């Protein structure tokens, strides 16, 4: 509990003890009433002060005003116990609210722990501890075991494991070594690292995430805006009805004024819109917190609300559904075994700077004896010819085989196919392609489970490769060989085809996806590996490269909206029922107190359930 909550709790306990003493012990009414007043002041002085302050500022109609008028009115007609009870139980409701908000904030506060306090920088031959915002690009920082990484950079010395839980929601540590990029906000688990800074603090991952989290509450959902408008008009209407209830009936019926004033005061107590004003924003805040726990940053409750109505999901292919890293996927030796084929191909490609050559060498993974390689010749657009261990080796595409009259077997594999011939005889093929993420298969199933009507894939890649990915993932629709402007046009078309309440979500990670991310109803950036531009314009950021977390975010959104609707319906139904009973004189102020506080507490507890939502 916070210090403010502790003080309120102590006040409530003291006021409650005094209240019980007055109820149980039988002594002079004057002394009783004095003790009631003391209990009232202890429990509710802050509420009365806020009401007076708001009246001076022109903000008359709020819950503080309603509680103050109702309790002072109760004192005026001699209902001292009821006056104290109203304020006492109202403060109990406020305690529950403070606890709930504190619990919700902790889920986001855990993310805020990623803020680095300092950076160890090498300057003038020594390590200096300075503020991360004062470190320049290109400087070298030292990160000791247990320290937070203060700025984005590249490891130049040392090996370690990084705890990325607060940043990505992932429990398994990530191994890093020389050449690997590290993100600010991660915790260095064991080894000591020397890192070259590649971004200033204000442009670093940790700074951008903190900015997203801190500003998330500024973008309100339709439901929150509705409740704000509802309370704005509802409260003054209720006050007017209470005044009419206190004055008109006794004038018509001739009954005692105090009897109808009591009914009007009960009416005011139960009319307090606390349950709605508290629980709806709390539900959204809890939903944003639950999402942040699994590494999904939602930039506002309006986007969390919109995710619940996801109708179409449009995905980029490379880096979103596939790993975005080309690797050797298949080796098929002919007259040579697979290991021999890979060896001769890697040796022939040894001096080539082509990306495909690099992939082959990485797949071979052994030291290449350059003494065995002679007469290397690279033929643009076709491949490489070389002598390897005194054997003529041709490595390239079909054109190279055809020009050298090599009888080869055409590969049926989808991807980039390398054909190799040794001493003018076909030796086999090596297929290189981007691998579909294992998580992408899971994501497609979860999208359907969340009632997404259509899944579309957009890519600039070749038709044959795109078709294979779409078929394997069972994607409803795909479009290949697209330019960035083609993606924009297609997303515009999908937006025009959606239903009134339906939303089009676009998921991408590249800089060329930024225009489409901005155009879609909800833009989702794969932030862990994505570009700064994509993260900047996106509405939701996934801190890992797992598309299934989008389904988790949709699930959290739907759960949040269900809880919001439950609270609205429950609160309004109970309020109207007790308001009618109070107006008819069938509900006492005690019933009004329990109805108001009870509804608020139940709505708050219901709102807290969203924090228990786990990843799909």
Q: What are the catalytic residues?
A: 316
C-alpha to C-alpha distances, 560 to 97, 223, 230, 307, 565, nearest whole angstrom: 18, 11, 20, 10, 9
Cross-strand pairs, 422: 393, 425
Nearest to 246 by CA among 233, 238, 590: 238
Helices (H) then strands (E): counts for the chain: 20, 22
Contact by Cβ (8 Å): 432, 329: yes
Q: Residue 437 gets which letter from DSSP?
A: P
- With 0-12 / 13-18 / 19 or more C-beta atoms within 10 angstroms meaning exposed / middle / buried, residue 150 is buried
Contact by Cβ (8 Å): 297, 107: no
Contact by Cβ (8 Å): 572, 595: no
Q: Residue 44 gets which letter from DSSP?
A: H
Contact by Cβ (8 Å): 263, 583: yes
Nearest to 288 by CA among 268, 303, 270: 303
Contacts of 577 (CB under 8 A, 6+ apart): none
Q: Residue 372 gets which letter from DSSP?
A: G
Antiparallel, parallel or unpaired: β 126-130 and 119-123 = antiparallel
Separation between Cα atoms, residue 483 and residue 494, nearest integer Å: 17
Q: Where are the alpha helices (DSSP H) in 156-273?
A: 165-168, 205-215, 222-253, 257-271
Separation between Cα atoms, residue 195 and residue 141, nearest integer Å: 5
| Strand ranges in 265-352 using DSSP code E only, listed in sequence order | 296-298, 310-316, 322-333
Question: Phi, psi at residue 349, to the nearest 5°?
Answer: -85, 5
Q: What is the SS3 assignment for 379-430? A: ECCCEEEEEECCEEEEEECHHHHHHCCCCCCCCCCCCEEEEEEECCEEEEEE
Contacts of 292 (CB under 8 A, 6+ apart): 107, 108, 110, 111, 213, 298
């Amino acid at each position: 509990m916070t210090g403010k909550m502790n003080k309120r709790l102590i006040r409530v306990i003291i006021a409650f003890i005094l209240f019980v003493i007055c109820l149980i012990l039988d002594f002079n009414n004057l002394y009783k009433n004095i003790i009631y007043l003391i209990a009232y002041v202890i429990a509710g002085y802050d509420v009365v002060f806020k009401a007076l302050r708001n009246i001076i500022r022109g903000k008359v109609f709020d819950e503080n005003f309603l509680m103050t008028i109702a309790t002072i009115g109760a004192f005026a007609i001699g209902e001292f116990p009821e006056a104290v009870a109203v304020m006492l139980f109202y403060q109990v409701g406020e305690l529950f609210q403070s606890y709930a908000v504190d619990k919700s904030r902790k889920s986001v506060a855990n993310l805020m722990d990623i803020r680095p306090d300092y950076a160890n920088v090498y300057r003038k031959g020594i390590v200096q501890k300075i503020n991360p915002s004062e470190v320049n690009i290109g400087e070298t920082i030292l990160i000791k075991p247990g320290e937070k990484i203060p700025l984005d950079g590249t490891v130049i010395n040392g090996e370690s494991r990084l705890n990325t839980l607060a940043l990505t929601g992932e429990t398994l540590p990530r191994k890093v070594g020389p050449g690997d990029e590290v993100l600010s906000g991660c915790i260095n688990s064991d080894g000591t690292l020397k890192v070259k800074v590649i971004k200033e603090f204000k442009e670093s991952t940790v700074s951008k995430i903190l900015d997203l989290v801190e500003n998330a509450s500024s973008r309100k959902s339709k439901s929150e805006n509705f409740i704000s408008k509802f309370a704005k008009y509802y409260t003054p209407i209720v006050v007017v009805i209470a005044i009419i209830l206190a004055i008109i009936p006794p004038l018509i019926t001739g009954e005692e004024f105090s009897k109808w004033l009591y009914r009007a005061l009960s009416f005011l107590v139960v009319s307090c819109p606390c349950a709605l004003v508290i629980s709806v924003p709390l539900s959204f805040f809890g939903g944003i917190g639950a999402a942040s726990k699994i590494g999904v940053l939602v930039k506002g409750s309006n986007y969390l609300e919109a995710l619940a109505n996801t109708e179409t999901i449009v995905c980029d292919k490379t880096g979103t559904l596939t790993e975005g890293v080309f690797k050797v996927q298949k080796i098929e030796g002919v007259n040579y075994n697979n290991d021999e084929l890979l060896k001769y191909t890697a040796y022939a490609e040894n001096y080539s700077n082509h990306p495909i050559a690099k992939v082959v060498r990485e797949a071979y993974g052994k030291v290449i004896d350059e003494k065995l390689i002679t007469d290397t010749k690279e033929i643009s657009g076709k491949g490489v010819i070389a002598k390897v261990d005194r054997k003529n080796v041709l490595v390239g595409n079909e054109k190279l085989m055809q020009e050298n009259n090599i009888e080869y077997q055409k590969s049926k594999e989808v991807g980039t196919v390398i054909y190799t011939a040794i001493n003018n005889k076909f030796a086999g093929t090596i297929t290189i392609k981007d691998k579909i993420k294992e998580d992408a298969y899971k994501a497609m199933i979860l999208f359907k489970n969340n009632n997404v009507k259509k899944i579309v894939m957009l890519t600039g890649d070749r038709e044959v490769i795109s078709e294979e990915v779409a078929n394997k993932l069972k994607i409803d629709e795909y479009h290949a060989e697209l330019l960035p402007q083609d993606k924009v046009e297609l997303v515009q078309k999908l937006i025009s085809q959606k239903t009134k309440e339906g939303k089009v979500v676009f998921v991408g990670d590249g800089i060329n996806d930024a225009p489409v991310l901005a155009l879609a109803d909800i833009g989702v950036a794969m932030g862990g590996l994505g570009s700064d531009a994509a993260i900047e314009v996106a509405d939701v950021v996934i801190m890992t490269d797992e598309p299934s977390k989008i389904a988790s975010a949709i699930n959290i959104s739907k759960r949040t909206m269900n809880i919001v609707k439950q609270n609205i319906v429950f609160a309004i139904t109970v309020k109207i029922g007790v308001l009618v009973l109070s107006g008819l004189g069938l509900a006492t102020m005690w019933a009004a107190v329990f109805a108001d506080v009870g509804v608020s507490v139940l709505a708050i507890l219901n709102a807290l359930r969203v924090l228990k939502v786990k990843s799909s």
